[in-house]
């Protein structure tokens, strides 16, 4: 099974599944884990709406996408989904916690 098939397995019975898997497998993928306060909510705001035509300028989808089937970026929709997806893409040994030098000025 391709990584993209496994990643979107929950959508396997949806009509867009095969196109989605094909698109995700059509070129390089850069997988990353973001951390921070309300990171899922904040990350989704930075990505823009799933349908790029509803996305604001300055978001990934607002600036780099035209149609929904090729919306250039995926982000987990919940902490639970993120945990599942992170374990799919990364080994535990590949992950590390990081606190930037500005954290003491940003977080209480």
- CB-based contact 21:2 (threshold 8 Å): yes
**74 in active site:** yes
Residue 93's φ and ψ, nearest 5 degrees, are -70, -15
Catalytic choice (17, 40, 72, 74): 74
> If you compute the radius of gyration of the chain from its CA atoms, what whole number of angstroms results?
15
CA distances from 14 to 19, 69, 70, 73, 79 (A): 10, 13, 16, 19, 23
> What stretch of H or E contains 106?
helix 103-106
Residues taking part in catalysis = 74
């Amino acid at each position: 099974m391709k990584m993209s098939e496994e990643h979107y397995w929950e959508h396997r019975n949806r009509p867009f599944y095969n196109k989605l898997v094909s698109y995700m497998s059509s070129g390089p993928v850069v997988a990353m884990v973001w951390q921070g306060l309300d990171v899922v909510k904040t990350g989704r705001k930075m990505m823009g709406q799933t349908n790029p035509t509803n996305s604001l300028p300055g978001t990934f989808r607002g600036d780099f996408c035209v149609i929904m089937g090729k919306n250039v970026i995926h982000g987990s929709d919940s902490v639970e989904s993120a945990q599942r997806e992170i374990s799919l893409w990364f080994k535990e040994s590949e992950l590390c916690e990081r606190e930037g030098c500005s954290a003491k000025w940003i977080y209480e």
